[in-house]
Amino acid sequence: MRHVYEDRFAEIEPLLNRVEKPSRYIDHEWGTLAKPDAAYRVCLIYPDVYEVGLPNQGIAILYNNLNKAEGISCERGYIPWIDMADEMRAAGVPLLSLEGAAPVAAFDVVGFHIPHELAATNYLEALDLADIPLMAQERTDDDPLVVAGGPSVYNPEPLYAFFDAFLVGEGEDLIVEFCERHRELKAAGLTRAEQLRELAKIPGVYVPSLYELVHDEASTRWGHTVPRAGEDVPEVIYKRVAADFGVTDPVPQSVVPYAQLVHDRLSVEVLRGCARGCRFCQAGITYRPVRERSADQVVSAVVHGLEKTGYDEVSLTSLSTTDHSCVKEILSRLNRRLADTGISVSIPSQRLDSFGVEMALEVAGEKKGGLTFAPEAGSQRMRDIINKNVTEEDLDRAVRAAFQAGWRRCKLYFMMGLPGERDEDIVAIAHLADHVVEVTREVVPPEQRGGIGVSISVAVFIPKAWTPFQWCAQLDDAEVKRRQQLLLASVKSRAVRVHYHDAETSLIEAVLSRGGRELAPVILGAWQRGQRFDAWTEQFELSRWLDAASACGIDLREAVQEPFPLDAKLPWEHVSPGVSRGFLEREYRRALEGKTTHDCTRDTCTGCGVCPTLGAGNVLVGERS
């Protein structure tokens, strides 16, 4: 290989007293699993700083599984903050792995997590710091394979030029199979190009260099992707699904950090998937089918996880934890088990239609901080359009139950700019928030009302690949700002705090969400102009993106404001989560008619196509209430 594997922490150490939060860069955390004697090495990189990336369950799962595999060692990496990156460049220190302080370029495979679109420039930041060629086509046999996977992999085309391969879907089995096959191919002396052709035969592996872009009258402005002539690769790469979710480790976390994390708690994945069918939600499609862990497994995982890590808070994670068929039993058993320990159990977000008095008493036991609900839209008309399937009465009942049980703060999540939205729907958000305040005052004794807090957070709608709204346009950012001001003016209660997402970052997220291969030079241009850490408000600078796009002849606002024809070939349709196009088209039409669709875990099959296409199915451990 081009670099010799060696511990180079001595080069980092002199820089630590010149940067903020030096604990981001020191090794020897408790619970690391890397095997220094293994001949085949993988470095998994989360595209953000240490305290954001370490809690990520996806990285933790792959890290565990790779280190369990014979002959493979896996280490981790994160993106140095701007001060450290500048110091490293000035000192000539490359990006190093955390556990072994080894040059990232010395590994056999470098794997990036794709958590969201705004991480795009950080991949280039990491590759540049690692001294790995940014463009896949410029890498040689001496360079590691650079791969990516994660929840936002379902439109990989804007990133196609930077990665040798994308691993699509659930990685528990896929990452190990990929690395074991790559090790065999390297040992057999195959070239980089030959290795990639063989690796593309693994289900779930997309090698973009074996595909090409086609523009025809059936395409959008971004064209669509097909196999190159003569290449024996599938036209559609379907996501992988874990062979048996029930036997996977519910507590993949093994590393206990020195620094305080963004999510500084034990996380236990209680179920995977969601069949509620919200039409804006990409995760609700791409994580199907629904698979639950048993109550026994969850409770046991929490107890052993706490013993292993020492946390004083547990988060039961999933897309919709209160949809678990045994959630009340799980919460009741955990509250009894953890009574008088000072350890709290939290659920990230509660379903309005499944949150009643009993649930309010169980969530968090005796500790009652804040609750989070997601009505998503202020009016029932809009909630029907997006298939939210909750009512104002559900919200009223949930809030009453929570505040009667002792809660005093709640947060409500909404979206703005949804298809079909009118000004009266924006005003309805404000009215709903004001109504929640009135409800709390009805149930909270006068002497306790000073502690009441209601906040609303309003995100900008972003059309996502593989959703029924993938054909829709995004609002112009000037119109988003107008509606935000309308919302602020419409809220009457001083007890309501309003937060909303930045319209400019939403513009970039939208164009990367629904764009194609022509965006790769735009991402490169934005990074070359100094853009990194786009998800951090203080680091985001729209002008760099606009300048980079202009240099490529692309108008970003025009691109996101253009709806796609329903019969168009879309840029991402060759990388599929298994849902049928017909189902998405049908859901789009039902949205236009304001018709809702039921949850298949509570009723009959809705015909989304995921189960038969992927050879999987919903796995429920109890009966839905």
Contact 432, 495 (CB under 8 A): no
Contact 340, 372 (CB under 8 A): no
**Model pLDDT, residue 265:** 85
- Domain extent at residue 41: 9-238
CATH number of the domain within which 412 lies = 3.80.30.20
Q: Answer whether residue 319 shows pLDDT above 80.
A: yes
In the chain, pLDDT over 70 holds for what percent of residues? 96
CA–CA gap between residue 569 and residue 583 (Å, rounded): 16
Task: Enter the tokens of residue 607.
Answer: 């015909």
Q: Which of 238, 259, 278 is the last residue of a domain?
A: 238
Region 456-479: mean pLDDT is: 95
CA–CA gap between residue 409 and residue 392 (Å, rounded): 18
pLDDT tens-digit readout, 376-417: 999 999 999 999 999 999 999 888 888 888 888 889 999 999
Q: 501 lies in a domain?
A: yes
Q: How does residue 141 score in pLDDT terms, banded at 50, 70 and 90?
A: very high
**Model pLDDT, residue 335:** 87
| 569 CB-side CA count, 13 A | 14
pLDDT tens-digit readout, 604-622: 999 999 999 999 999 999 8
Q: 215 lies in a domain?
A: yes
**Model pLDDT, residue 3:** 41
Q: Answer whether residue 155 shows pLDDT above 60.
A: yes
Same domain, 501 and 402: yes
Same domain, 368 and 223: no
In the chain, pLDDT over 90 holds for what percent of residues? 75
Strand ranges inside 485-574, DSSP E: 496-500
Q: Answer whether residue 364 shows pLDDT above 60.
A: no
CATH number of the domain within which 77 lies = 3.40.50.280
- Which segment of 33-42, 227-236, 402-411, 469-478 scores lowest on mean pLDDT? 402-411
* Burial of residue 585 (number of CB atoms within 10 Å: 0-12, 13-18, 19+): middle
**Model pLDDT, residue 251:** 85
Same domain, 112 and 257: no
Query: CA angle 540-472-486, nearest 5°?
Result: 60
Q: 110 lies in a domain?
A: yes
3-class SS at 251? coil
Region 588-592: mean pLDDT is: 97
What is the pairing mode between strands 224-227 and 211-214?
Answer: antiparallel
Same domain, 164 and 312: no
Q: Answer whether residue 367 shows pLDDT above 80.
A: no
pLDDT tens-digit readout, 158-180: 999 999 999 999 999 999 999 99
Q: 523 lies in a domain?
A: no
Same domain, 308 and 223: no
Q: Answer whether residue 455 shows pLDDT above 70.
A: yes
CA–CA gap between residue 233 and residue 227 (Å, rounded): 6
pLDDT tens-digit readout, 35-50: 988 999 999 999 999 9
CA–CA gap between residue 11 and residue 88 (Å, rounded): 9
Q: Which of 238, 270, 295 is the last residue of a domain?
A: 238
Q: Answer whether residue 362 shows pLDDT above 80.
A: no
Same domain, 234 and 267: no
Same domain, 222 and 314: no
Query: CA angle 516-521-523, nearest 5°?
Result: 85
Same domain, 291 and 156: no
**Model pLDDT, residue 618:** 94
Q: 528 lies in a domain?
A: no
Q: Answer whether residue 443 shows pLDDT above 50.
A: yes
Region 412-433: mean pLDDT is: 96
Region 59-80: mean pLDDT is: 96
**Model pLDDT, residue 369:** 61
**Model pLDDT, residue 497:** 94
Q: Answer whether residue 366 shows pLDDT above 60.
A: no
Number of domains in the chain: 2
Same domain, 221 and 250: no
Q: How does residue 550 score in pLDDT terms, banded at 50, 70 and 90?
A: very high
Q: 14 lies in a domain?
A: yes
Reduce the secondary structure of 112-123 to three states and give it as a string: EECCCHHHHHHH
Look up tokens 């995977």; give the residue: 272
Region 357-368: mean pLDDT is: 64
Q: 48 lies in a domain?
A: yes
Look up tokens 């008619």; give the residue: 593
Q: 625 lies in a domain?
A: no
Q: Which of 195, 212, 238 is the last residue of a domain?
A: 238
Region 295-309: mean pLDDT is: 92
Same domain, 377 and 422: yes
**Model pLDDT, residue 6:** 60
Region 567-595: mean pLDDT is: 97
Q: How does residue 196 score in pLDDT terms, banded at 50, 70 and 90?
A: very high
Region 66-89: mean pLDDT is: 96
Same domain, 224 and 250: no
Residue 563 identity (one-letter amino acid): P
Same domain, 181 and 300: no
3-class SS at 522? helix
pLDDT tens-digit readout, 502-544: 899 999 999 999 999 999 999 999 999 999 999 999 999 999 9
